[in-house]
Amino acid sequence: MNIVAFNLFKDLNLRETIIAVIMLVLMFFLSWLRLKQGAVSKEKLEENKRDVVKKALEAENTLGGNYEI
């Protein structure tokens, strides 16, 4: 997680960093709010994620990759 945060902010000045943090917080808050309102099903999201990962791994394996879940 630290590497991701470092790479995300390393080339930004203070103003850009503040804007990026505000945008990230806003996105997390809106996602949380939609989950709490019941507009989005957590179970459905997890099911969709599993399907996408499975399809991606199947596609990668057809190209010769050696990856596992």
Say which residue the tokens 């505000």 belong to.
22
Confidence class for position 69, pLDDT limits 50, 70, 90: low
- DSSP label at residue 12: -
Across the range 30-40, mean pLDDT stands at 90
- For residues 55 and 49, the answer to whether their CB atoms sit within 8 Å is no
Q: Which residue has the higher pLDDT, 44 or 69?
A: 44
Residue 12 predicted with pLDDT over 60: yes
Domain extent listing, the chain: 1-38, 41-69
d(CA 24, CA 21): 5
65: left (phi over 0), alpha (psi -120 to 50) or beta: beta
Q: What is the pLDDT of residue 64?
A: 63
What pLDDT, in 10s, does the model give residues 38-66?
888 889 989 999 999 999 888 877 766 55
Torsion, CA 20, CA 21, CA 22, CA 25, rounded to 10: 120
The pTM assigned to this predicted structure is 0.55
